[in-house]
Structure 1
Amino acid sequence: MVSPPHEAMHRIFRHDPDLFGRLAPRLGIAVPPIVETTPLLSAVDGSSPVACSRNTQLHVRTAGQEEFQLLIEAQDRRDPARPAHWAHHVAYIWTQRRLPTCLLIVCADEDTARWAEQPVSSAPAQPPALTLHPFVAGPHNLPLVTDPDEVRADPELAALSVMLHPTDAHVGTTMEALSAALRDRPEAIARPLIDLTAISLQLHPAGRAWRELVLPAIREWERGRGRVEGGADSARESLLIVLGSRGFNLPRDVRERVAECQDPELLRHWLARAVTASRAEDVFVGA
């Protein structure tokens, strides 16, 4: 199932947990310098009311050795029922982890963002038993990153700004700089960010433009995988021919290891050993 577009706005913090530390000063959030941020997964077996597919949870450690939990949720519209759910989620995590817990709401709609950042009390009685004070990131307090140097320096922050400004007149400029920056990154790092950005924009015209911008990089990665897989197949075939011609019988686990290996360099290393080895086990020793 494809995730709703607004969920990409909190999932980007799983992709880059350190993003919050760079985002906080821009939002005016007063936290000490953050030295470590670790994603946490909530239970999905029904034992936790905080479903991990609907939010992101981070464990944050600061330079002063303070620790706190950060719950990040995305909201796409006003919903009077949500603040009570947010308060419940924060209280649950606070109880389970026994650490201070903060809440960040991410909204692409400015009206929703301004609504979400208002404190909400549990009752009209004074003083209320509980008052929720969420942090909020939205179009009103996180501008679109348009400087190409800033985009290259922090593609994740630039991607989040695109998610929050999908209809901005200058979003195309940012997307061009972002797609160029991601082409220079390894696929394992760049591809999740490309996909999250695409998910967030799928209901906007900018989504089609984004797919066209990143298509050349995706095709190049696919061609590269094809070259690697082709090289691995060739090296594996040569290895098996040499082993067979020399009369080596391979144990089942070794045959499976050779069949599953996708590293052309390792296969060629085994091939070079197979030419001179006196026993089959000498081919794979230490590898």
Structure 2
Amino acid sequence: MVGSSHEALHRIFQKDPTLLTQTLQRVLHVPFPKPREIVALNVDLTEIEPIERRVDTLMRAETDEGTYLLVVESQGKVDERKRGSWPYYLAYLYEKYRCEPVLIVITQSGTTAKWASRPIRFGFRDWHSMTVRPLVLGPDNVPMITDEYRAERDPSLAVLSAMTHGRGPQTPAILESLVAALKTIDYDTAAVYAQFVDSCLTHPQARQIWRDLMKTVQYFWRHPLAEQVREEGREEGREEGREEGREEGREEGREEGREEGREEGLIEGSRRMALRILEARRIPVPDTARERIETCTDLDQLETWAERAVHATDAHELFTDE
């Protein structure tokens, strides 16, 4: 599993190396030549001396115009030490591989992107012995994909969009379009991308929207993230069951309480999920529809309504076959 947004932001390019060069061309409008082949390399740049230095992702791109090293750094915040380590990385890699290194920085922060975009210059005012100009991908230049058709045409870019724009009023539309795109690719790749996005969504409401959407997608249940979400629901039910059992004070009461608590926890979670998806998509929920959802005790029916909420344009569409 991917444990952090730092890891996800650069590992998406390991999963789909062509996304990196395509993004340079389409987003930053850098005329990077079309690669014939891209190969991942060892990211360890440690020398014999006990100084450990590692880049986040390193790939070699073979093109008709030559061989390039693509150095990808995921940057969460401003860190002035990087203005010393980045030039070191590039000089070391050129010496080791004898081909041109290109530094790409990816961030979720507009402030960090602005800082990282500044050229790094060594020397005196009128003569620079070295100049490093990072290529930076961030919320200010990665496209915000909220349209399903566009997301389906380029699922990898839609994933990158969700990872860099995972907050704000457009978040529900971005995540919904991404879900539609992930349904068009193979299950295993979609599951990995789902984990990347989950790792990058640091805003609690955005992450909850994403997990609610994922519960309606078949491949999600094969991924470790699904087990985490299921376990959270089971623990909720177990806790409610334990509490009721304690109040009963009898073994029979405890067992019945656990079972009832588990069932009630799943039912209540499904009610909240259906309503939350509608609200996140800014679909009005009339009192009659809200009451119908909140009073329903049929778990299968509630899960069906939650699935329909992902694509519905009106709250009453949840009940179309009834």
What is the CA–CA distance in structure 1 between the aligned matches of 2:161 and 2:85, rounded to whole Å?
A: 26
Describe how 1:168-179 pairs up with structure 2 within 5 A: 168-179=168-179
Cα shift at 1:162: 1.2
What is the CA–CA distance in structure 1 between the aligned matches of 2:107 and 2:221, rounded to whole Å?
A: 32
What is the CA–CA distance in structure 2 between the aligned matches of 1:222 and 1:107, rounded to whole Å?
A: 29
Alpha-carbon displacement from aligned partner over 1:21-74 (angstroms, at most 9, x marks no partner): 2201221212122332222232498768442xx511111122x24110010001
Change (3 A) 1:130 1:182: same
Describe how 1:11-30 pairs up with structure 2 within 5 A: 11-25=11-25, 26-30=27-31
Aligned position for 1:217:
217
Aligned position for 2:32:
31
What is the CA–CA distance in structure 2 between the aligned matches of 1:143 and 1:168, rounded to whole Å?
A: 14
Alpha-carbon displacement from aligned partner over 1:168-206 (angstroms, at most 9, x marks no partner): 321211211211221332222111111111101144421
Contact 1:167 1:204 in 2 (8 A): no
Cα shift at 1:107: 1.2
Structure 1: 5+ residue runs without aligned partners? Answer: 224-287
What is the CA–CA distance in structure 1 between the aligned matches of 2:91 and 2:204, rounded to whole Å?
A: 36
What is the CA–CA distance in structure 2 between the aligned matches of 1:151 and 1:219, rounded to whole Å?
A: 18
- TM-score relative to the length of structure 2: 0.62
Alpha-carbon displacement from aligned partner over 1:129-149 (angstroms, at most 9, x marks no partner): 211111001111122112211
Change (3 A) 1:183 1:132: same
Change (3 A) 1:195 1:100: same
Contact 1:187 1:221 in 2 (8 A): no
Aligned position for 1:153:
153
What is the CA–CA distance in structure 2 between the aligned matches of 1:20 and 1:136, rounded to whole Å?
A: 12
Aligned position for 2:114:
114
The letter for the 2-side match of 1:192 is V
Aligned position for 2:98:
98
Aligned position for 1:255:
none
Point out which structure has higher relative CO (alpha carbons under 8 A, 6+ apart). Answer: 1
Change (3 A) 1:220 1:147: closer
The letter for the 2-side match of 1:83 is R
Aligned position for 2:236:
none
Aligned position for 2:141:
141
Aligned position for 1:196:
196
Change (3 A) 1:28 1:205: same
Change (3 A) 1:119 1:210: same
What is the CA–CA distance in structure 1 between the aligned matches of 2:4 and 2:118, rounded to whole Å?
A: 25
Change (3 A) 1:44 1:125: closer
Contact 1:202 1:208 in 2 (8 A): no
What secondary structure, in the 3-state scheme, does the structure 2 residue paired with 1:140 have?
coil
Contact 2:2 2:8 in 1 (8 A): no
- TM-score relative to the length of structure 1: 0.70
Aligned position for 1:70:
70
What is the CA–CA distance in structure 1 between the aligned matches of 2:46 and 2:190, rounded to whole Å?
A: 31
Structure 2: 5+ residue runs without aligned partners? Answer: 224-322
Greater CA deviation, 210-219 or 166-175? 210-219
Change (3 A) 1:221 1:185: farther
What is the CA–CA distance in structure 2 between the aligned matches of 1:132 and 1:45, rounded to whole Å?
A: 21
Q: Does 1:57 align with 2:53?
A: no
Contact 2:148 2:180 in 1 (8 A): no
Contact 2:152 2:184 in 1 (8 A): no
Change (3 A) 1:178 1:157: same
Q: Percent of pairs identical after alignment? A: 28
